[in-house]
Amino acid sequence: YAIKHNNNAKAAIRYHTSHQQVKRWRDRYDGTIQSLLPKSRRPKSHPKWEVIDKYNKQAPDYRKVLDTIIVPNEFPKTKIGKIRRFMVPAVLENIGKEEVVTEEPSTEEYTIIKEYLSTSKGRTVVPQAHLELDLGMDSLDMIEFISFLGSRFGMVVQNETILENSTVESIAAYVEKHRGEDKIEDVNWKEILNKETEIKLPYYGIFARIGKLLNYLLFWTYFRIEIQEREYLEKKPTIYVGNHQSFLDVALIARAFPTSILKNCFFMAKGIHFKSFFMKFFAKQGNVVLLDINENITEVLQTMAKVLREGKSILIFPEGVRTRDGKLNSFKKSFAIL
């Protein structure tokens, strides 16, 4: 069994049979995993459920495995038995998805949910299709799906409900049992983003002023930069967007901002990088909003919207991660939604 994460190959890993092992390898490789899994000894089990589904339930969104492909033969190998990694993508392109034909439920709930998923994901939807593994739904897709279920069937659906009912058939059965009054509405992102969040915004304090001075010295003495068309920067709520090639990108863009704009511009950062007391104190006085996009993507977007509503600006990198080859990566949907 080959596990695909994203769309390209980086590492080939042999014979891992537990979701704990998959997690260890995902933590080690910051990118794509392509792995071989032996068939389970239990005839009725399947790696998708015994390994990948269990792993995804405990993994953050950006590390979830969203696709699986059945490979009937061994991967190409060298004479000494090592996998020819560069040949793996070509092999996978010629392999079809595993198809298991089952009778479709005739309930109204299943029909409505199937139509929604087919339209939103552009894929063939079958009863046993896994929302993440087979349909490739990411965290934003899940938010939209939960909002759709709530508005269409008049019910409250939690993230835990989706985890416990992770196939189209099972979530349709859950909706059939717990649905309320019908409502036909589109997913209203404006309504979601206008909800208040309890996160307190930081401020432009002494650490921000010190950081600005150090930043100026860095780009005046060691680096040379050229700033063009600064006159387009205005004192109004703005979403500043940057491509992401270096860990210096934030400092570089901040150097281009005049103080009047920098004081009212907030920077979104992963909380994992600000664990110590000193770093948290720096973030609090440096206009740095600490977020965990893998825990609650809704709260992340609501916080960004709150910044804009209060007349401030934000700097985001819509690619989500730094580029590895110098090319521009695809933008995350959160940028367009915001």
Most confident by average pLDDT, 46-50, 64-68, 71-75, 194-198:
194-198
Q: How many domains does the chain have?
A: 3
Give a yes or no: residue 291 inside a domain.
yes
Looking at the fold, whether 164 and 244 belong to one and the same domain comes out as: no
Residue 26 has pLDDT above 70, yes or no: no
Give a yes or no: residue 10 inside a domain.
yes
The answer to pTM > 0.85 is no
Residue 6's pLDDT is what? 42
Query: How far is Cα 57 from Cα 256, in angstroms, rounded to an integer?
Result: 42
Token pair 């609501």 is at which residue? Answer: 302
205-249 pLDDT per residue, tens: 887 888 888 888 888 888 888 889 888 888 899 999 998 888 888
Query: Structural domain of residue 26, as residue ranges?
Result: 1-41
Looking at the fold, whether 288 and 314 belong to one and the same domain comes out as: yes
Which stretches of the chain are DSSP H helices? 19-28, 47, 53-58, 88-93, 108-121, 139-153, 159-164, 168-178, 189-193, 206-221, 249-256, 259-262, 277-284, 297-309, 333-337
Give a yes or no: residue 84 inside a domain.
no
73-104 pLDDT per residue, tens: 677 788 787 888 887 777 777 665 545 556 78
How many C-beta atoms surround the C-beta of residue 101 within 10 A? Answer: 8
Query: How far is Cα 203 from Cα 208, in angstroms, rounded to an integer?
Result: 9
> In CATH, what number is assigned to the domain containing residue 144?
1.10.1200.10
247-271 pLDDT per residue, tens: 888 888 888 888 888 889 998 887 7
Looking at the fold, whether 178 and 259 belong to one and the same domain comes out as: no
Residue 10 has pLDDT above 70, yes or no: no
Looking at the fold, whether 144 and 228 belong to one and the same domain comes out as: no
Q: How far, rounded to the nearest angstrom, does the alpha carbon of residue 271 sit from its chain's CA centroid?
A: 16
Tokens matching residue 127: 């009863």
Looking at the fold, whether 51 and 137 belong to one and the same domain comes out as: yes
Looking at the fold, whether 285 and 168 belong to one and the same domain comes out as: no
Tokens matching residue 1: 């069994």
Looking at the fold, whether 51 and 183 belong to one and the same domain comes out as: yes
